[in-house]
């Protein structure tokens, strides 16, 4: 974005794609980390006199899963329904962004329609406006390249230049991330550059021992990254709901815990080939239901009774993981160790986060959930070398995949 600033942006309309996909409780933002991370680039452009039009998504309003919140053990986000739904409106985000910028952020009531055009036309130099959730337009995430390109053309008509700053979404080939960068002069934002810089340290020659902690609910989401990381890491600590597929692969009965039966065989293969590196829970916190006030027990990982489900890693596992983390020189953590949103199942995630914060290792937290956990559990953010705003994006980067929203910037559309 420095190139764009050097060219001069005063009076120009700049479309900034940010990742403002924050967890909400009703209309209250429970963790504003991504909004805060988006501010520096927006502020820089505004201070240089640009008319800043911010584009962002919230959740997955057209079906499928919502924001990947509650990615701990067994907490699968609710399916969403239907067309533009007020609960996916960016209104609360516009308010928060305005507070952080110290200036009102006008929200257009549509994505590229009359309100968006009116907003783009009415911005004064140095002011900031936000388009409504880009995923309200089905072309944003369409499988049809032609449809995405059509929407990108409409985004382009709102602005003179494009800044890609939504690191959390650069792994998505979507209209406001990818196609728009082919029609407007496109620049990488400071957040995207900073994230790539830090994550490159993990894909380069990380200081050893290199310990990776993975959690979250689904093995299926993480298999690719597990396979890519195993040859590179010294130790892989597995918590969260995905641990039960590994425990089942070891031949344990996991009761009613989250289990992806289709992946047990793959987990078994990984344990056979890399068993010396993979550490799975030795004890778990179990309950009969996922609720804040249920009876909770801690049992050995191989002693989960039927009718009970594992919802957090137990204290012996926390100790085991913490020992490994304490000896590490590089740590990457993605995915909560348990359903940390509920107090009885938060200790595992807190323990892992605390161990990382206490270690002197170069530490990177990746993933909306783990980053939110750090803040929601009140851990000091400066205990971590870097808290990434990317979930899937940081994982795909570590897998060595091309990130379309980054790759497109090298096409040199200026």
Which residue among the candidates 368, 390, 391, 405 is catalytic per the annotation?
A: 368
Give the Cβ contact number of residue 355 at 10 Å: 25
239 is catalytic: no
The reply to whether 135 sits in an annotated binding site is yes
| 368 is an interface residue for ligand 3PG by CB under 6 A | yes
Task: Choose the catalytic residue: 12, 13, 17, 34.
Answer: 34
Residue 12 is assigned to a ligand binding site: no
Shortest spacing between CB 303 and ligand 3PG, in angstroms: 35
User: Should residue 90 be labelled a site residue for ligand 3PG when binding is judged by CB under 6 A?
Assistant: no
Q: Omega before 290 cis (within 30°)?
A: no
Residue 109 annotated as binding site: no
Per-residue CA distances from 226 to 162, 240, 267, 396 (Å): 34, 14, 10, 11
Examine the residue annotation and report whether 66 is marked as an active-site residue of this protein: no
The residue (of 69 and 317) whose beta carbon lies closer to ligand 3PG is: 69
Instruction: Tell me if 68 contacts ligand 3PG by CB under 6 A.
Output: yes
Query: Is residue 18 a contact partner of residue 55, using CB atoms and an 8 Å limit?
Result: yes
Q: Helical H runs in 254-361?
A: 264-274, 315-326, 347-358
Residue 21 binds ligand 3PG, judged by CB under 6 A: yes
How far is residue 281's CA from residue 237's CA, in Å, rounded to a whole number?
8
351 is in an annotated binding site: no
Q: What residues numbered 295-354 form the site for ligand 3PG, per CB under 6 A?
A: none
Residue among 72 and 168 whose Cβ is closer to ligand 3PG: 168
Q: Report if residue 391 touches ligand 3PG, rule: CB under 6 A.
A: yes
Give whichever of 166 and 344 is closer to ligand 3PG, judged by the CB atom. 166
Which residue is catalytic, options 44, 51, 218, 277?
Answer: 218
**Residue with token string 């909004």:** 35
Q: Is 216 in the site for ligand 3PG (CB under 6 A)?
A: no
Give the number of C-alpha atoms closer than 13 A to the C-alpha of residue 167, restricted to the C-beta side: 28
Tell whether residue 60 is a contact of ligand 3PG (CB under 6 A): yes
Residue choice 13, 148, 172, 386 for contact with ligand 3PG (CB under 6 A): 172
Residues 6+ apart with CB under 8 A from 413: 181, 182, 183, 184, 185, 186
165 binds ligand 3PG (CB under 6 A): no
C-alpha closest to that of 150 among 126, 118, 120, 182: 182
Angle at 386 between CA 384 and CA 387, to 5 degrees: 90
Q: Is 157 assigned to a binding site? A: no
Q: Which is nearer to ligand 3PG, 283 or 341 (CB)?
A: 341
Tokens of 309: 């489900």
395's tokens: 């994982």
Q: Is 392 in the site for ligand 3PG (CB under 6 A)?
A: yes
Task: Please say if 392 is a catalytic residue.
Answer: yes
Residues 159 and 53: their CA atoms lie apart, in Å, by 8
- Contact flag: residue 218 with ligand 3PG (CB under 6 A): no
Closest to ligand 3PG by CB, 33 vs 392, is 392
E strands, 99-257, in order: 105-107, 128-130, 161-164, 186-188, 210-214, 235-238
Q: Which residues are near ligand 3PG by CB under 6 A?
A: 19, 21, 60, 67-68, 168-169, 172, 368, 391-392
Active-site residue list = 34, 218, 368, 392
């Amino acid at each position: 974005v420095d190139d764009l600033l050097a060219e001069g942006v005063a009076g120009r309309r700049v479309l900034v794609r940010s990742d403002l996909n924050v967890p909400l409780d009703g209309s209250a933002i429970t963790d504003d980390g991504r909004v805060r991370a988006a501010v520096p680039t927006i502020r820089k452009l505004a201070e240089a006199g640009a008319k800043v039009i911010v584009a962002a998504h919230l959740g997955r309003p057209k079906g499928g899963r919502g924001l990947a919140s509650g990615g701990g053990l067994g907490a699968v986000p609710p399916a969403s329904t239907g067309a533009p739904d007020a609960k996916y409106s960016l209104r609360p985000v516009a308010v928060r962004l305005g507070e952080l910028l110290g200036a009102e952020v006008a929200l257009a009531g549509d994505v590229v329609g009359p309100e968006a055009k009116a907003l783009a036309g009415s911005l004064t130099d140095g002011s900031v406006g936000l388009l409504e959730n880009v995923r309200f337009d089905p072309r944003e995430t369409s499988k049809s390249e032609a449809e995405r390109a059509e929407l990108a053309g409409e985004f382009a008509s709102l602005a003179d230049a494009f800044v890609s700053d939504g690191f959390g979404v650069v792994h998505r080939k979507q209209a406001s991330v990818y196609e728009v960068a082919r029609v407007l002069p496109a620049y990488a934002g400071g957040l995207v550059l900073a994230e790539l810089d830090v994550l490159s340290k993990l894909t380069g020659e990380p200081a050893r021992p290199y310990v990776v902690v993975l959690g979250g609910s689904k093995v299926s989401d993480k298999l690719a990254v597990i396979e890519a990381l195993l040859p590179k890491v010294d130790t892989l600590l597995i918590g969260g709901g995905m641990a039960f597929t590994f425990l089942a692969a070891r031949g344990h009965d996991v009761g009613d815990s989250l289990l992806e039966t289709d992946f047990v065989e793959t987990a078994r293969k990984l344990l056979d080939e890399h068993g010396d590196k993979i550490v799975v829970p030795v004890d778990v916190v179990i309950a009969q239901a996922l609720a804040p006030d249920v009876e909770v027990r801690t049992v050995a990982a191989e002693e989960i009774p039927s009718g009970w489900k594992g919802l957090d890693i137990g204290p012996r596992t926390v100790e085991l993981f913490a020992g490994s983390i304490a000896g590490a020189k590089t740590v990457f953590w993605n995915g909560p160790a348990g359903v940390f949103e509920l107090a009885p199942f938060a200790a595992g995630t807190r323990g892992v986060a605390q161990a990382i914060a206490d270690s002197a290792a170069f530490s990177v937290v990746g993933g909306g959930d783990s980053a939110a956990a750090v803040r929601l559990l009140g851990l000091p953010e400066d205990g971590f070398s870097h808290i990434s705003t990317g979930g899937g994006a940081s994982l795909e980067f570590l897998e060595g995949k091309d990130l379309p929203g980054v790759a497109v910037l090298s096409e040199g559309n200026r």
